[in-house]
């Protein structure tokens, strides 16, 4: 078998070496898996494992790629759907996604990574989560052959008898084209909403209006044959599968011509790869890799196109999965210059403003429910090296149907960033310290709202060489941006997320209603403010998900989202995040989000994403804290806070098949909660969880609480302090589960810490389940084990180790600041909490630099600087009517109006 494998690889190399002409599209073709390999000489079979070396398929038909890059293959004769991870990589693995299916011929994946499978044998469409949980089954299809998922999660299916059907997100199946096609075998949705359908019997490709079902011939229809060129002269031979490339062009599996073809929206046909039989040179006829001018394929039936423009195909003769790279099929927002926006409109090197990218982070399905705060992404695809120093645009929102729209609900959340400071981190692997930058938002400095015109105007107005809004000398306006998980650097990815446009969908809206939003009059300036940045505002893209466009249609529809399921993140609306199950990455996401309240990627408070992260209500349904049980199944509504109980509940639900899962959704202006199947329980023989019932007691008169504090310290350079973290736990219940984030802040130019701080808990706790450090001066962790002794009463909860830099002068000062603290006796019920910051001083700071009787130490404690304008003696930063001089004399908090 090793000899066979070497021979097969040699055919690939030989084919590449014999290339004598330049390929039309410059593709490089290679085999991903299947055919004769280390698992056996047979062409077909069923073997999982390493995709290239071992995997075997049996009549692989349709295929699709999810947002994570996995390929799903409808393995027809094996009656299953297979999943290929990391396609093309040496460690790519093939596994079984679903088995026991009756002749699957088609597979599709939507923007939320749900997987749709079409089975011809029993005429059914099944919808699964990305982890294989069955979400929906639609039957009574007649010999279906292909499917495609469009906007609003509608599925389009063609049947062998010629019918075209639409299966909406909810409601009955609709017949669009009754018997109008001659043996259709492929279907795809174009960015403008039209459908493309291929037919085997008359060797043609049609465009279909999905609203009316009317079809027009795009290319072919000239009998079986092979010819590239204009659609009226082009020929196909039994065209099968179709896919839409990111740039809006159509990719087609031309089965009996043994080629994969490319069709523009004006009908022009060309060949991507595959050659005639006369050019087949290997002993494996129709199977050789290499340059597209010589690479041979045999009987392709299915195609898919990745977000990077990679083309994948299935071939039923050798039962192969192949890949072609090096094609110019990607859309805007990629790693290079802007290529094709949609169809044949090519804007090379143009800056494009739009409501969102075609896919990935910063993209949306543009579906929102009645009563929901809907957030539309505003994005820029940038030409390489483009700098932008100011930016402005208007946004209008209007109703397309009868339900009126309230323009006063509109607002804009900026996601542009600027460096906010420097932190030093210790890299364990290299043993060296590294300087990192923190970031803060650049909020628009000009905005107006004209409700009569349904207009919101937004502007970042600044001139190069000035620093009023941001430091233009160090970076330009859109250099850094971040919505949630990833920070975009414009020069690296050639794109920026400008922000989120928020509107509230009327509570009276129905699923028949639509609303239209539009970006208008966008303009920007480079370094020379008298010039304009070339800025393209495309109007010929998609009105829904997909190709970039400055006009988008928000369609009213109710999208449920599983509580806790927030990864992967594309955007903030239901349907734009999650994958249908609870995993470790979801636990980490709520942990990270709960600790980032002072950072730029904290989730928008009234968004569906925030609501999905907010898993627990923080209080018991019984008398407060009287029963130390899990009571997780009663946690359904959330409390508007992200704290340790949300991490705990998500963690337990992600592991325990006996617990309930819940989904939330908006309908008729009200948020609803329903129980959904726990995906972990599938395939498990799970006994009901026993619940310990204890007599209920009266709720305490005072809510149980935890207060954390540290004493101030006077020290010298190059000393390691051990700060006792004092805790007062009141209310008769132990602190067992907790989460905290703290920072030792260098004040007024003091040198930053270089030795990482350490946080050592009392013996009643185990090691934290999750911890992280953003710098030597930062520590965050969560303790989720509720079976420990924990901590009760008053005493030392932990020791904080802080090493003062050797170069700290006598005027240096540091503040130990609690960014976040939340605690619980059992993981689900929250204590009331209070934290007090502490000062580390290298000299006596009881004097007043201002000479007004307020000590420097007091100003450092509350304002982080003796120079802060908020610290003026007559100032009243918390607006409670009590000025700082009085707050200082009385020892109250000048930043909290409730403290006096």
DSSP states of 409-454: G-EEEE-EEEEEEEEEEEETTTTEEEEEEEEEE---SEEEEEGGGT
Residue 131's pLDDT is what? 84
Counting Cβ atoms within 10 Å, is residue 645 exposed (0-12), middle (13-18) or buried (19+)?
A: buried
Give tens-digit pLDDT for 477-522.
Answer: 999 999 998 899 999 889 999 999 999 999 999 987 999 999 999 9
Query: What span, in angstroms and rounded, lies between the C-alpha atoms of 579 and 594?
Result: 21
Residue 210's pLDDT is what? 83
Percent of the chain with pLDDT over 70: 88
Closest CA to 317 of 134, 8, 60: 60
With 70 as the cut, is the pLDDT of residue 683 above it? no
Residue 326's pLDDT is what? 86
Q: Are 190 and 250 in contact (CB under 8 A)?
A: yes
Closest CA to 527 of 444, 443, 458, 465: 465
Query: How would you label 364-386 residue by residue, b for 16+ Cβ within 10 Å and e otherwise?
Result: bbbbbbbbbbbbbbbbbbbbeeb
pLDDT confidence of 647, banded at 50, 70, 90? very high
With 90 as the cut, is the pLDDT of residue 807 above it? yes
With 50 as the cut, is the pLDDT of residue 854 above it? yes
Give tens-digit pLDDT for 602-635.
Answer: 899 999 999 999 999 877 544 444 444 457 888 8
Torsion of Cα atoms, 783 then 789 then 792 then 798, to 10°: -50
With 90 as the cut, is the pLDDT of residue 333 above it? no
With 70 as the cut, is the pLDDT of residue 39 above it? yes
Query: What span, in angstroms and rounded, lies between the C-alpha atoms of 267 and 274?
Result: 20
Task: Specify the 3-state DSSP secondary structure of 485.
Answer: coil
Structure tokens at 48: 């999982």
Residue 436's pLDDT is what? 56
With 80 as the cut, is the pLDDT of residue 673 above it? yes
Q: Are 606 and 658 in contact (CB under 8 A)?
A: no
Query: What span, in angstroms and rounded, lies between the C-alpha atoms of 660 and 563?
Result: 11
DSSP for 16-80, please give it. Answer: HHT--S--SS--EEEEEEESSBTTBSSS---B-EETTTT-B-SSEEEEEE-TTS-EEEEETTTTE
With 70 as the cut, is the pLDDT of residue 689 above it? no
Residue 700's pLDDT is what? 47
DSSP run (H or E) holding 593? helix 584-594
Report the mean per-residue pLDDT for the chain. Answer: 86
Closest CA to 512 of 670, 407, 402, 404: 402
With 50 as the cut, is the pLDDT of residue 129 above it? yes
Percent of the chain with pLDDT over 90: 64
Who has greater pLDDT, 890 or 433? 890
Residue 348's pLDDT is what? 33
Q: Phi, psi (5° rounding) for residue 439?
A: -130, 150
| End-to-end Cα spacing for the chain | 82
Counting Cβ atoms within 10 Å, is residue 492 exposed (0-12), middle (13-18) or buried (19+)?
A: exposed
pLDDT confidence of 682, banded at 50, 70, 90? low
With 80 as the cut, is the pLDDT of residue 429 above it? no
With 70 as the cut, is the pLDDT of residue 63 above it? yes
Residue 392's pLDDT is what? 97
Ranges of beta strands (E only) in 230-349 are 239-244, 250-254, 259-263, 269-273, 290-291, 300-305, 311-315, 320-325, 340-342, 345-346
Give tens-digit pLDDT for 291-311.
Answer: 888 899 999 999 999 888 899
Query: What span, in angstroms and rounded, lies between the C-alpha atoms of 359 and 374?
Result: 18
Q: Are 541 and 548 in contact (CB under 8 A)?
A: yes
Closest CA to 826 of 618, 633, 653: 618
Ranges of beta strands (E only) in 115-228 are 115-119, 124-128, 134-138, 144-149, 155-159, 164-167, 174-177, 184-189, 195-199, 204-208, 215-220
Residue 308's pLDDT is what? 82
Give tens-digit pLDDT for 355-375.
Answer: 999 888 999 999 999 999 999
With 90 as the cut, is the pLDDT of residue 185 above it? yes
Mean pLDDT of 791-817: 95
Residue 178's pLDDT is what? 65
Beta bridge partner(s), residue 56: 47
pLDDT confidence of 340, banded at 50, 70, 90? very low
Determine the Cα angle at 591 with ends 307 and 673, to 5°: 80
Residue 432's pLDDT is what? 53
Q: Phi, psi (5° rounding) for residue 467?
A: -135, 25
Query: What span, in angstroms and rounded, lies between the C-alpha atoms of 119 and 816?
Result: 61
Question: What Rg, from alpha-carbon coordinates, does the chain have?
Answer: 31
Give tens-digit pLDDT for 557-587.
Answer: 989 999 999 999 999 999 999 988 899 999 9
pLDDT confidence of 402, banded at 50, 70, 90? confident
Placement of tokens 């859309």 in the chain: 331
Residue 345's pLDDT is what? 25
Task: Specify the 3-state DSSP secondary structure of 817.
Answer: strand
Task: Specify the 3-state DSSP secondary structure of 724.
Answer: strand
Query: What span, in angstroms and rounded, lies between the C-alpha atoms of 458 and 287?
Result: 57
With 80 as the cut, is the pLDDT of residue 346 above it? no
Closest CA to 435 of 774, 209, 846, 684: 774
Query: What span, in angstroms and rounded, lies between the C-alpha atoms of 771 and 753?
Result: 19
Give tens-digit pLDDT for 870-885.
Answer: 889 999 888 888 999 9
pLDDT confidence of 330, banded at 50, 70, 90? confident
With 50 as the cut, is the pLDDT of residue 341 above it? no
pLDDT confidence of 169, banded at 50, 70, 90? confident
195-209, 457-471, 623-637, 647-661: segment of lowest average pLDDT:
623-637
Q: Are 239 and 301 in contact (CB under 8 A)?
A: no
């Amino acid at each position: 078998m090793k000899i066979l494998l070497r021979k097969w690889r040699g055919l690939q190399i030989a084919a590449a070496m014999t290339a004598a002409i330049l390929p039309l599209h410059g593709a490089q073709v290679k085999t991903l898996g299947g055919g004769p390999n280390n698992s056996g000489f047979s062409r077909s079979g069923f073997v999982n494992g390493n995709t290239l070396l071992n995997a075997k398929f049996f009549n692989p038909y349709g295929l699709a790629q999810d947002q994570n890059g996995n390929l799903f293959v409808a393995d027809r004769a094996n009656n299953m759907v297979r999943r290929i991870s990391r396609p093309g990589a040496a460690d790519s693995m093939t596994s079984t996604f679903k088995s026991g299916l009756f002749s699957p011929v088609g597979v599709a994946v939507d923007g939320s990574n749900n997987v749709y499978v079409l089975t011809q044998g029993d005429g059914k469409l099944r919808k699964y989560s990305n982890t294989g949980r069955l979400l929906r089954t639609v039957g009574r299809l007649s010999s279906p052959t292909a499917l495609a998922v469009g906007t609003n999660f509608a599925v389009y299916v063609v049947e062998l008898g010629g019918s075209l059907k639409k299966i909406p997100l909810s409601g009955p199946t609709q017949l669009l084209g009754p018997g109008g096609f001659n043996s259709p075998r492929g279907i795809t949705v174009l960015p403008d909403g039209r459908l493309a359908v291929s037919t085997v019997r008359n060797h043609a490709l049609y465009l279909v209006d999905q609203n009316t079902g009317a079809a027009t011939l795009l290319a072919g229809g000239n009998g079986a044959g092979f010819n590239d060129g204009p659609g009226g002269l082009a020929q196909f031979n039994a065209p099968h599968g179709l896919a839409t490339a990111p740039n809006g062009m159509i990719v087609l599996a031309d089965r009996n011509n043994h080629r994969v073809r490319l069709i523009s929206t004006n009908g022009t046909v060309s060949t991507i790869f595959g050659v005639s039989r006369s050019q087949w040179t290997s002993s494996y006829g129709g199977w050789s890799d290499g340059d597209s001018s010589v690479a041979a394929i045999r009987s392709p039936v299915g195609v898919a196109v990745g977000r990077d423009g990679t083309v994948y195909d299935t071939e039923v003769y050798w039962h192969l999965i192949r890949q072609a790279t090096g094609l110019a099929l990607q859309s805007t927002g990629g790693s290079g210059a802007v290529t094709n926006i949609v169809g044949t409109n090519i804007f090379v090197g143009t800056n494009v403003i739009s409501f969102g990218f075609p896919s990935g982070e910063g993209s949306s399905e543009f579906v929102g429910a009645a009563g929901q705060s809907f957030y539309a992404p505003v994005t820029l695809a940038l030409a390489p090296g483009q700098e932008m120093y100011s930016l402005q645009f208007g946004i209008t929102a209007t109703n397309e149907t009868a339900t009126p729209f309230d323009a006063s609900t509109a607002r804009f959340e900026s996601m542009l960033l600027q460096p906010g400071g420097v932190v030093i981190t210790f890299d364990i692997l290299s043993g060296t310290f590294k300087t990192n930058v923190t970031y803060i938002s650049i909020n628009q400095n000009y905005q107006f709202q004209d409700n009569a015109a349904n207009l919101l105007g937004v502007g970042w107005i600044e001139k190069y060489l000035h620093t009023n809004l941001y430091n233009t000398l160090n970076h330009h306006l859109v250099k850094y941006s971040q919505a949630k998980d990833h920070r975009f650097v414009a020069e690296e990815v050639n794109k920026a997320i400008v922000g989120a446009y928020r509107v509230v969908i009327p509570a009276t809206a129905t699923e028949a209603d639509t609303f239209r939003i539009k970006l208008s009059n966008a303009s920007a300036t480079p370094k020379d403010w008298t010039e304009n940045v070339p800025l393209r505002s495309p109007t010929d893209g998609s009105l829904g998900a997909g190709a970039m466009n400055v006009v988008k249609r928000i369609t009213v529809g109710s999208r449920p989202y599983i509580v806790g399921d927030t990864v992967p993140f594309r955007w903030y609306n239901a349907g734009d995040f999650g994958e249908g199950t609870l995993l470790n990455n979801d636990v980490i996401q709520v942990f990270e989000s709960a600790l980032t309240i002072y950072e730029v990627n904290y989730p928008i408070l009234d968004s569906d994403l925030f609501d999905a992260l907010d898993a627990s209500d923080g209080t018991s349904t019984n008398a407060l804290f009287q029963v130390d049980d899990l009571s997780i199944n009663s946690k359904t509504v959330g409390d508007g806070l992200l704290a340790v109980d949300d991490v705990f509940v998500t963690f337990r639900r992600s592991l325990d098949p006996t617990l309930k899962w819940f989904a939330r959704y908006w309908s008729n202006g009200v948020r609803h909660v329903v129980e959904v199947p726990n995906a972990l329980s599938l395939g498990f023989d799970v006994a009901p969880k026993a619940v310990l019932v204890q007599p209920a007691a009266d709720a305490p008169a005072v809510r149980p609480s935890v207060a954390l504090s540290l004493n101030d310290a006077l020290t010298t350079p190059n000393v390691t302090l051990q700060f006792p973290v004092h805790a007062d736990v009141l209310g008769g219940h132990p602190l067992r589960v907790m989460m905290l984030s703290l920072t030792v802040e260098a004040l007024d130019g003091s040198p930053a810490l270089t030795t990482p701080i350490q946080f050592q808990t009392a013996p009643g706790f185990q090691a934290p389940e999750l911890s992280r450090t953003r710098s030597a001066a930062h520590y965050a962790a969560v303790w989720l084990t509720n079976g420990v002794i924990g901590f009760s009463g008053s005493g030392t909860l932990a020791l904080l180790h802080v090493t003062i830099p050797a170069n700290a002068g006598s005027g240096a000062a540091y503040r130990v600041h609690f960014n976040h603290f939340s605690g619980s006796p059992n993981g689900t019920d929250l204590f009331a909490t209070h934290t007090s910051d502490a000062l580390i001083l290298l000299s006596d700071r009881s004097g007043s630099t201002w000479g007004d009787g307020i000590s420097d130490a007091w100003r450092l404690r509350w304002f982080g600087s003796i120079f802060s304008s908020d610290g003026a003696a007559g100032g009243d930063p918390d607006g409670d009517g009590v000025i700082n001089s009085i707050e200082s004399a009385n020892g109250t908090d000048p930043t909290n109006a409730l403290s006096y």
